């Protein structure tokens, strides 16, 4: 029965290993439990459900939103970095399938007149931003969990944890993400999360002179966005992809998708 | 069965390797996984605060109206009443935090044309002008009060005094 014999050395080493393992596991478990975040005062993420509606029939393409967004969120000034931008659509006659689209510097400097009036064309501006999808492709592809849908319905990027792999930039069907060249991490519209948690409007909605961007809390039936969603015929972009966007458009043409 | 027991040394070595592997994994996990990761979802809950902690650059209309209480009355009944202050006056977070830091007065020639320059793509009902033909793009506030454009000039007394 020499096999069953346990000498002191064996006992101590295996016992020691066991103790180390359990203490490490306990430490890890405690670490996981301790992570409940500190909430901003008076703001509860679970009480809100943010959304935006954009009224295309109102947008005048002034570019206030683009400029305010860059100022508010410290977006690089170069013309390839935008959290929000404005596009101009030009449809000649009934050529619905082939609109001419341009967005000089994202609409940052406004739009110079390019087409003539009275030529039977249909022209309009479409402001674009992150659609804050409930079922977001960018969140699904992130390998490290650096982008996520917050409990209050905003798709946020974790710049401190992002590894800059650019996978989400490719995954977003709306082209709403960019890599910040200064940090080599992703950046995107956060619906001005630092503003909405303080009870302010996102910068783009704050400066919109024609109230084309209506922002609010869908949990509050009296909020402007709830009223707009109840009263107007809205639709979101690229719904066929199943992304379930939370930015809704009124007066959105089919060719904009 | 007998040879298994005979060669149990190998099994112990394997078991020891596994235990060491698990141990290393647990240690690495403790060190590398951020605090609280996974408590709200597959992300770091601290990212919510990271996103929320930035100081707003635009103060927001409620902050403006704390001091500029006369503006509501001034804009009453105007098409411009619904426009928030910073749409024309620019980001005023610094001024709102410290009223001593005075903002720059917007140039009436430039700020009006941001919206009111004619463009085919603008909604048809929106008031638009061609700055080349309409008063040669002159200072708009000589005829239109910026805060209440349906009225005449805002401060005729002041403008008279300047002349």
**Number of A:B CB contacts under 8 A?**
177
Predicted pLDDT at A151: 94
* CA nearest to A119 within chain B: B120
Q: Closest Cα partner for A147 from A169, A125, A128, A127?
A: A169
Please state the rounded mean pLDDT for residues A150-172: 95
Q: Distance between CA atoms of A155 and A188, rounded to whole angstroms? A: 9
Q: Distance between CA atoms of B97 and B114, rounded to whole angstroms? A: 27
Contact residues on chain B for A24, CB-CB shorter than 8 A? 23, 26-27, 30
* CA nearest to A32 within chain B: B36
B115 touches chain A (CB under 8 A): yes
pLDDT at A34 over 60: no
A181 touches chain B (CB under 8 A): no
Predicted pLDDT at A10: 74
Residue B20, both tokens: 């060491």
pLDDT at A29 over 70: no
A197 touches chain B (CB under 8 A): yes
Using 50, 70 and 90 to split pLDDT, how confident is the model at A254?
confident
Predicted pLDDT at A39: 43
Task: List pLDDT tens digits, range B78-107.
Answer: 999 999 999 999 999 999 999 999 999 898
Find tokens 């099994």 and name the residue: B11
CB contact under 8 A, A35 and B123: no
CB contact under 8 A, B120 and A160: no
Q: Distance between CA atoms of A107 and A221, rounded to whole angstroms? A: 33
Q: Distance between CA atoms of B129 and B134, rounded to whole angstroms? A: 6
Which residue ranges in chain B fall short of pLDDT 50? 157-163
Domain definitions of chain A by residue range: 46-134+188-256, 137-187
Task: Please provide the CATH number assigned to the domain covering A46-134+188-256.
Answer: 3.30.70.20
Q: Closest Cα partner for A60 from B116, B146, B82?
A: B116
Tell me the pTM: 0.82
Q: Length of chain A in residues, anyone?
A: 257
For the beta sheet containing A50-55, the strands, ordered from the edge strand earlier in sequence to the opposite edge, are A213-217, A50-55, A247-250, A234-235
Please give the class, per CATH, of domain A137-187.
Answer: alpha beta
The pair phi, psi for residue B79, each rounded to 5°, is -65, -25
3 state SS of A236: coil
Q: Distance between CA atoms of B158 and B156, rounded to whole angstroms? A: 5
Q: Distance between CA atoms of B50 and B52, rounded to whole angstroms? A: 6
pLDDT at A47 over 50: yes
Predicted pLDDT at A28: 54
- The ipTM value here is 0.82
Q: Distance between CA atoms of A93 and A91, rounded to whole angstroms? A: 6
Residue A170, both tokens: 């490719």
């Amino acid at each position: 029965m020499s096999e069953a014999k346990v000498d002191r050395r064996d006992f101590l080493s295996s016992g020691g290993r066991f103790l180390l393992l359990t203490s490490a596991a306990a430490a890890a478990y405690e670490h996981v439990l301790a992570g409940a975040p500190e909430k901003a005062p008076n703001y509860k993420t679970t009480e809100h459900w943010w959304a935006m509606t954009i009224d295309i029939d109102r947008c005048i393409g002034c570019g206030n939103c683009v400029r305010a967004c860059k100022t508010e969120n410290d977006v690089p000034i170069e013309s390839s970095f935008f959290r929000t931008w404005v596009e101009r659509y030009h449809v000649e006659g009934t050529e619905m399938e082939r609109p001419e689209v341009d967005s000089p510097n994202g609409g940052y400097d406004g739009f110079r007149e390019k087409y003539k009036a009275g030529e039977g064309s249909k022209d309009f501006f479409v402001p674009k931003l992150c659609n804050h999808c409930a079922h977001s492709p960018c969140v699904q592809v992130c390998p490290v969990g650096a982008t996520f849908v917050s409990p209050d319905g905003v798709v946020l990027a974790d710049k401190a944890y992002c590894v800059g792999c650019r996978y989400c930039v490719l995954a977003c069907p709306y082209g709403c993400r960019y890599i910040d060249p200064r940090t080599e991490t992703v950046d995107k519209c956060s619906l001005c999360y630092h503003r909405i948690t303080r009870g302010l409007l996102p910068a783009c909605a704050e400066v919109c002179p024609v109230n084309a961007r209506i922002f609010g809390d869908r949990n509050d039936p009296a909020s402007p966005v709830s009223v707009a969603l109840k009263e107007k015929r809205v639709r979101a972009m690229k719904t066929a992809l199943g992304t379930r966007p939370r930015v809704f458009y009124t007066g959105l043409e089919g060719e904009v998708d | 069965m007998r040879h298994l027991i005979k060669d149990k040394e190998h099994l112990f070595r394997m078991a020891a390797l596994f235990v060491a592997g698990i141990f290393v994994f647990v240690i690495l996990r403790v060190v590398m996984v951020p605090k609280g990761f996974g408590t709200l979802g597959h992300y770091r809950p601290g990212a919510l605060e990271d996103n929320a902690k930035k100081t707003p650059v635009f103060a927001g209309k409620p902050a403006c109206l704390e001091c500029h209480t006369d503006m509501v009355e001034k804009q009453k009944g105007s098409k411009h009443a619904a426009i928030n202050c910073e749409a024309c006056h620019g980001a005023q977070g610094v001024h709102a935090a410290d009223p001593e830091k005075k903002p720059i007065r917007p140039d009436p020639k430039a700020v009006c044309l941001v919206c009111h320059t004619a463009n085919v793509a603008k909604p048809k009902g929106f008031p638009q002008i061609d700055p080349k033909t309409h008063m040669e793009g002159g200072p708009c506030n000589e005829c239109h009060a910026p805060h209440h454009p349906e009225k005449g000039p805002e401060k005729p007394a002041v403008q008279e005094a300047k002349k």
